[in-house]
Amino acid sequence: MRRRSFKTPLWESQVHQTIQKLKVESKSRSLKSCDLYECACIFISDHLKERIFSQATLCVYYRHLKSFSAWMSEAEKVTDIQNVRVSHLRKYFSYLESVRKYKKSSLEGVQTSLMRFFRSMRFRKLIPKNPMQDFHILAPRHMNSVNLLTVFDIKIFLRSVKDHYQYLNDSGKLGCFSLFIHRRDLCILALCIACGLRRGEIQRINRNHLDFDKRTILIPGKGNQRVVIKERTAFFSHPFLEEILMRYYRMREKLPGNSFFSNCYGDELNANSIAQIFRRYSAFISKDVHCNATITRKSFSSHLVRKKVNIEAVRDLLGHENCETTLRYYVHFSTEDLEKIWKESNPYANRSYLQASSQAILEQFAGK
């Protein structure tokens, strides 16, 4: 039976090598260094132990911090972290925007990496002051509401799994695992739409996380698969969800492995496999639509808010710690939605009230 090989990424190996070097040179239990790159490796190593962020997020952090330390060493001739100033940060972001042609969203990603890095170094008392404390860029991250899925798009999205299976059946291309794969894909799409699951959460759902008696799923949440962090409960009490999950579960029991969503060998799905599932069926909606787990998650939260669901309930359903994250990144309104909200909530949007008020004002001025 084919099994995937778990090979340590190159960036993680470089971090471990740097940490081992610091442990040999250090005489104390806590790791300390003045070198900018070594401090970046300490920051990444701490988060590798805590497992709060995923491997993909830590890889992005490492790439941003390594690029920043290399630029500081070449352009500013600064390798000591205590000599980093706000002026260096302004020059670096200007370099990224003018020379590297970074977009606003990419600049905000770099800002987040540096902000968390210097905050950690300040907590470790390796720097006297956080240089990112007085530096912020204006880079709003608001998704265009046109990219969100409508109710009609969701119906086409779910029906596309059946249409794709029917197409393979008519053309004689069905394999021995085609039914299992399509039932699995339908469950993944339906749960992402109905529960707002992240891509990593799909990977970490195990078979023992489902309770068909209570019709609930234990969602592990963000972080690495070794530790369960920020877990929450999702519900599949709808008859459609319950039926498709039960059909898939009966076929999944015949395969080895503990992961609920797996390939035909029983192995856990990787990130590329899940992204390929979304690409395959989003083409049925439109050629210009590129759907993924993030878009279905944001569509889920935006539809809840439009139904006037309490924002704290939306926060708990998404698995966020605070409402600010929910409101900033996961709630989006179109111009039509804003106009509808304005008409329903603003008293001056009421035409009869506005006519009566204006008539009273005119009579008052006429009396004068």
DSSP calls for 221-281: -SS-TTS--S-EEEE--SHHHHHHHHHHHHHHTTS-SSBSSB-TTSPBP-HHHHHHHHHHH
Cα(167)–Cα(47) distance, integer angstroms: 46
pTM for the model stands at: 0.69
Taking a C-beta distance cutoff of 8 angstroms, is the pair 77, 70 a contact?
no
Of 140 and 136, which is predicted with more confidence? 136
Please report which confidence band the pLDDT of residue 291 belongs to, taking 50, 70 and 90 as the band edges.
confident
- The whole-number pLDDT of residue 255 equals 93
Q: Which residues contact 220 (CB under 8 A, 6 or more apart)?
A: 201, 204, 205, 209, 228, 229, 231
- The whole-number pLDDT of residue 250 equals 94
Is domain 148-329 given the CATH code 3.40.50.300 in the classification? no
Q: Mean pLDDT score of the chain, rounded to an integer?
A: 83
- The whole-number pLDDT of residue 357 equals 55
Of 285 and 145, which is predicted with more confidence? 285
Per-domain boundaries in the chain: 10-134, 148-329, 335-367
Cα(265)–Cα(237) distance, integer angstroms: 29
pLDDT in tens, 353-365: 555 555 665 565 5
What token pair was written down for 48?
């590798």
**Sign of the CA dihedral with 150 first, then 191, 198, and 181 last:** negative
Cα(51)–Cα(113) distance, integer angstroms: 16
Q: Of 49-58, 168-177, 313-322, which has the strongest mean pLDDT?
A: 168-177
Of 107 and 349, which is predicted with more confidence? 107
Give the CATH number of domain 10-134: 1.10.150.130
- The whole-number pLDDT of residue 247 equals 95
